[in-house]
Amino acid sequence: MSDPRNLATRLQLRHLRLIEAIAAHRQLSLAAQALALTQPAASRTLAEVETLVGAPLFDRHPRGMTLTPVGEGLARHARNILDELGHAVEAVEKLRLGTGGVVRIGAVTGAAVGYVVPAIRLLKLTVPDVELHIDVANSQSLLTGLEAMRYDMILGRLRPEADPGEFTIQRARGEQVRFLAHRDNRFAGRARLDLAELAGSDWVMQGPGSPIRRAVEEAFLDLGAPVPWRVTNTASLLMTLALLRNPDVVTPVSHEVADLLTATQTDLSRLNVTEPVHVAPYSLITLKSRHLSPAAMRCRDLLSDILLRQREKAQAG
């Protein structure tokens, strides 16, 4: 009996292709023709395989060849191996041409809505077979993921202690904070609303230290007003939407998120706060040491173009 370990190391693709071709055509001559082989060469190759296996793979009949039980088992696995090899070659070719592959993006909420969504729409037009993974999280988690190479790129903010020299960084335009509430909120519909009037409201905000939270608290302090104290902390947009069904609740969000939510949630109202509240801009960040796939490079370039256009638009306005 043949040693399986010896068989595994000595079987070659030409063996598997011949077995698959004979099983499909049931004649050695037709199988040889399909593989561009001479019939004597095909006969020698089949003899090699049967010697390696230690058993006949085909029964010969006047009208053709049929698989033996051993041949049936080997032919089935040969088909699977050749199919997998074909898929691998196809995947590699898509990667080489930049028409497929996997792209992993991390983004803070505003950037995901304002930049990642339009970028992936454009990406799908030029890289239709791309597999996208998009995570929305805070900047610290995103940067940790980028450093661990779980992301190809992120839209977020560097930690103060991070070395900018390790990254390629492109700044986005600064974010302006908007304030949303239920349409039945007592401040909804007011033409002008002082920020200090909102201090005693029920607030839903990201946790302490988050950029929007800091920007809101600094704005209250600049006015000499107490910072909001009745706060539910959550980074979940879904939870925020659920809590906004309460007319007493107010939440600060980026202008991109505000535009999306007020366009899709008819029960939400944007409060007309007179004092502008700005949050530090985030950036498109990649690792200098990371070699991006063609699909990821295309995605990064699309994001870069969108960021540049938005900054130019903001400067012109």
CATH of the domain at 183: 3.40.190.10
If you average pLDDT over residues 283-298, what whole number do you get?
Answer: 88
State whether 273 and 183 are in the same domain. yes
Residue type, position 275, single letter: E
Indicate the number of domains in the chain: 3
Residue 31: pLDDT over 70: yes
The confidence score (pLDDT) of residue 9 equals 67
Q: Where are the alpha helices (DSSP H) in the chain?
A: 4-10, 13-25, 28-34, 39-53, 69-97, 109-111, 117-126, 139-147, 211-222, 237-243, 255-264, 294-316
State whether 274 and 206 are in the same domain. yes
> Are the C-beta atoms of 109 and 254 separated by less than 8 Å?
yes
pLDDT tens digits for 49-86?
888 888 899 998 888 899 999 988 888 888 888 877 87
* Chosen domain end from 80, 96, 112: 96
pTM: 0.66
State whether 57 and 122 are in the same domain. no
State whether 129 and 194 are in the same domain. no
State whether 168 and 286 are in the same domain. yes
Q: Strand 283-287 vs strand 153-156: parallel, antiparallel, or unpaired?
A: antiparallel
State whether 300 and 155 are in the same domain. yes
State whether 184 and 57 are in the same domain. no
Question: Does 5 or 226 have the greater pLDDT score?
Answer: 226
Residue type, position 311, single letter: R
Query: Domain limits at 90?
Result: 4-96
* Distance of alpha carbon 80 from alpha carbon 92, whole angstroms: 18
Q: Which residues pair with 178 in a beta bridge?
A: 253
State whether 270 and 181 are in the same domain. yes
State whether 292 and 165 are in the same domain. yes
Residue 221: pLDDT over 70: yes
Q: Give the Å distances, CA to CA, from 277 to 20, 169, 198, 267, 286.
A: 69, 24, 14, 24, 28
Burial 240-274 (b: 16+ CB within 10 A, else e): bbebbeebebbbbbbbbbbebbbeeeeebbbbebe
* Chosen domain end from 96, 122, 146: 96
State whether 117 and 261 are in the same domain. no
> Are the C-beta atoms of 113 and 257 separated by less than 8 Å?
yes
State whether 207 and 237 are in the same domain. yes
State whether 110 and 122 are in the same domain. yes
* Distance of alpha carbon 226 from alpha carbon 216, whole angstroms: 11
* Chosen domain end from 96, 111, 135: 96
pLDDT tens digits for 149-206?
899 999 999 988 889 999 999 998 877 899 999 999 999 999 999 999 999 999 999 9
What value does the CA radius of gyration of the chain take, rounded to a whole number of Å? Answer: 31
